[in-house]
Structure 1
Amino acid sequence: MLSIFQKKFFLADLLGGFTDFHNHLLPGIDDGAISVEDSIAMIQKFNEYGVTNFVASPHVMGEFYQNTPETIFPALEKVKKALPKGNSIKAAGEYMMDLYLIEQLEKNKVLPVTSNYVLVEMSYFQAPINLTEILFKIQNSNLRPILAHPERYAFYHDSNFSKYKDLKERGCDFQLNMLSLSSHYGSSIQRKAFQLFENGMIDFISSDAHRMEHLEKIGNIKLNKKQVSALEPIIEKSKALFQ
């Protein structure tokens, strides 16, 4: 139990009843879990933090991981057959905003996180040239984009959040990576993560866990009381997606 006299709080202590909707738990179809055994070990580690509900979100990108429901659902079924009692899991995708996503939208093969939210990402080097077109096609498919880990796009880092605000105006919600609250991706990403959520720019939070190492690091993330106060509404909004 958290004490009001603690100077530092563990992020993991805030996650009871939380649904992790950005992770790479499905085995063998992207750069996440390799085997079902890996998947179950990660789920059991999540359980230590009070997390028992999952939406697996394997990468979907034209150049590397051309996943579709036909590749995602069989991997999901393998995990379901071994799933520890008291856990639930379904599947979505983390969609690179590229031409392959447009194709999947046109074929009605996009797997959303919920009925009206889809998880998307972009290259770490630059935004897609046709970003406006892609966002329009997503929204024209009655989906609202959640941009994964906006803090990790260094080309959007500026002092007044102008590029982030532009994305917000285009209808994007933002999902923070838990690991960005540590130095895992580097100090500049960590600083931007805190700046974004302390300034009310973040809508949701999730793990983006690919392997056990990531979950162990999440378990060690500490926050001060001010940071907890800013983060709690984001966690509650994340929970509300699945209520």
Structure 2
Amino acid sequence: MFSFFNKKTHIDHIEWLGVDMHAHWLPGIDDGAKDMASALNFMKSLQELGFKKLLATPHIFTELYPNNKEIIENTLESTRTALKATSLHIETAAAAEYMVNEDFDVSNDLVCLPNKHILIEMSYISEMPNIEQIIFNLQVKGYVVVLAHPERYSFYQDKHQRFHRFKEMGVLFQLNLLSVSGYYGKDVKRLAEYLLQKKYYDLAGTDLHHEKHLHALTREIQSGRLHDKLGNVDFKNMELFF
């Protein structure tokens, strides 16, 4: 017999996550938003989807995107100025997503998420040979290391012990929201599901770069599918960054 009490609640927003802590909407400084109009459109769309605070994390990657603290802060300030000229009111901040390679220097003035959380990534081709030493060096300096989208590192597909080791070291894991939809492929989706089952994720972000990402996110959120898959995960976005 049909009962209204058995009807599944349809959650078509992302207020349950609240803070997007990984996105590329600062204009013109990496492979994210190309100009201010695109940046404002991304921010407006993310707010409409239910985010209360937006943190930009442009790449710092010497070979391709040689950004630094001054560039990021100046771009954030110009973006905030443009934002004031619109009817959009949302809290914004900026950090960086660091490519950990041979050029990465722990002694630099690092651009961090709140409370010295530092977002790092590796090449998708192979593990950084001394990644554990780099993590340790950052931790000694008081940083909390956040590994961006661990599910996207294909070289860990059959090496789950590496994830266990990182968690033993106190590394926080950040999930790309679209990973659970299959957007990046079946292998990424499978690894994301494994890490979710292990309760290894601490944070989640859009990793928004372009319109294709935005359209896919909008579909997954408004359909209720994203909440069905992730709504009960204990993400700490609001706790750590709001």
Q: Which amino acid aligns with 2:164?
A: K
| Change over 3 Å in CA distance of 1:224–1:207 after alignment to 2 | closer
- Normalising by the residue count of structure 2, what TM-score does the alignment of the two structures yield? 0.88
Contact map agreement 1:22 1:206 (CA 8 A) in 2: yes
8 Å CA contact retained: 2:14, 2:51: no
Structure 2 unaligned blocks of 5 or more = none
Cα shift readout 1:128-166 (whole Å, capped 9, x = no counterpart): 11212211221122101100000000111137x311101
Equivalent in the alignment of 2:184 = 185
1:194 matched to 2:193? The reply is yes
Q: Match for 2:97: what amino acid?
A: E
C-alpha distance in 2, partners of 1:224/1:110?
33
Residue 86 of structure 1 is aligned with which of 81, 85, 89?
A: 89
Instruction: Tell me if the contact between 2:17 and 2:237 (Cα under 8 Å) persists in the aligned partners.
Output: no
CA deviations over 1:177-233 (Å, ceiling 9, x no partner):
0110112111111121122112211111110000122122112225388734542x2
Distance change >3 Å, CA 4–CA 207, structure 1 → 2: farther
1:223 alignment partner in structure 2: 225
Judged with a 3 Å threshold, the aligned counterparts in structure 2 of structure 1 residues 166 and 52 are, in CA distance, closer, same or farther, namely same
Which amino acid is the alignment partner of residue 184 of structure 2? Y
Displacement after TM superposition at 1:89 (Å): 1.1
User: Which one-letter code corresponds to 1:203 in the other structure?
Assistant: D
Separation in structure 2 between the aligned mates of residue 180 and residue 17 of structure 1, nearest angstrom: 16
Partner of 2:107: 106
Whole-Å Cα distance in 1 between the matches of residues 29 and 175 of structure 2? 23
Alignment of 1:37-116 (within 5 A): 37-83=37-83, 84=86, 85-102=88-105, 105-107=106-108, 109-116=109-116
In the alignment, the residues of structure 2 paired with residue 136 and residue 110 of structure 1 have an alpha-carbon distance, to the nearest angstrom, of 15
1:86 shift after superposition: 2.0
- Deviations along 1:47-84, one digit per CA (max 9) or x if unpaired, are 11111311110001122111101211121112101224
Q: Give the alignment's Cα RMSD to 1 decimal.
A: 2.2
Task: Name stretches of at least 5 consecutive residues in structure 1 with no aligned partner.
Answer: none
2: distance between equivalents of 1:54 and 1:228? 19
Q: How many residues align?
A: 232
CA contact (8 A) 1:43 1:52 kept: no
Partner Cα distance (1:132, 1:17) in 2: 30
- 3-state SS in 1 of match to 2:147: strand
Quickly say closer, same or farther: Cα 1:5–1:228, change in 2 above 3 A: farther
CA contact (8 A) 1:62 1:99 kept: no
Shift of 1:242: 2.1
129-138 or 205-214, which deviates more: 129-138
Call closer, same or farther: CA 1:172–1:209 in 2, change over 3 Å.
Answer: same
Task: Please identify runs of 4+ aligned residues in structure 1 that moved more than 4 A.
Answer: none
**Equivalents in 2 of 1:4, 1:114: separation in Å?**
41
Once structures 1 and 2 are overlaid, which stretch shifts more, 28-37 or 137-146? 137-146
Checking the alignment, whether the CA contact within 8 Å between 1:41 and 1:212 is kept in structure 2 is no
Q: Report what 1:239 is aligned to.
A: 238
Which stretch of structure 1 is more off in the superposition, 46-55 or 12-21? 12-21
**In the alignment, structure 1 residue 213 sits paired with structure 2 residue 212:** yes
Task: Answer whether contact 2:182 2:189 (CA < 8 A) is retained.
Answer: yes
Give the 3 Å change call, closer, same or farther, for CA 36–153 of structure 1 in structure 2. Answer: same
Matches of 2:126 and 2:195, distance apart in 1: 19
- State the secondary structure of the residue aligned to 1:38: helix
